[in-house]
A and B are shown apart, each in its own frame.
Chain A
Amino acid sequence: GQQVMQIPQYQHVQEGEDFTTYCNSSTTLSNIQWYKQRPGGHPVFLIQLVKSGEVKKQKRLTFQFGEAKKNSSLHITATQTTDVGTYFCAGPTGGGGSQGNLIFGKGTKLSVKP
């Protein structure tokens, strides 16, 4: 079945270093969503990418959607302790732009050392 894989599983960085997590789907996605879960918290929606090659920025966070719409990345510039948490990508199983059921990657857990 369809799979969404994320790497790395864990990432430990020094505050101020950059961080990147990668998401790869076994099938073409109509869109991809990114969520952040703080320790002990619940997932919170960050952004959605829809177009091939799309790049979106939110302050120090840069999200990219691959040209083939099968992969995506999240890059954080100059990490801060507030960036700590697990970052999940998720893609719909349905084709043709429908939501379908979201398949979540297993997440990348980011820790930041002050």
Chain B
Amino acid sequence: NAGVTQTPKFQVLKTGQSMTLQCAQDMNHNSMYWYRQDPGMGLRLIYYSASEGTTDKGEVPNGYNVSRLNKREFSLRLESAAPSQTSVYFCASSRTYRDSYSPLHFGNGTRLTVT
């Protein structure tokens, strides 16, 4: 039972390069999320998908795009990477967005460095 799987685990980009972070969950969850974690800043929501076919901005969406490919997969794209996007990125899923009893399940994270 893999849970939430993120790829890649590590990535180094040069400023201006693009890349896509992949995320897949096998728990049949409806809702998926992308967070970034920076030292001293906690976890901040970038984008989320409450259900298949929908996506919405979170707290820090600038510079990112997302795609909910199907119920299992939710990708995050950096079109033109900037040093400020150096961070650890976590994908998460929950059974449903509209349920108080629905904790988040996180992937192992992607450590991204932009030089």
Contact = CB atoms under 8 A, between A and B. Distances in A.
Contacts of A75: none
From DSSP, what is the main secondary structure of chain A's interface residues?
A: loop
A104 B42 contact: yes
Interface size bracket, A side: 20 to 34
Contacts of A43: 43, 90, 104, 106
A30 B41 CA distance: 24
Contacts, number: 58
Interface size bracket, B side: 20 to 34
B100 interface: yes
A107 interface: yes
Contacts of B107: 42
Contacts of A88: 42-43
B86 interface: no
B101 interface: yes
A77 interface: no
Interface of B: 31, 40-45, 48, 58-59, 90, 94, 96-109
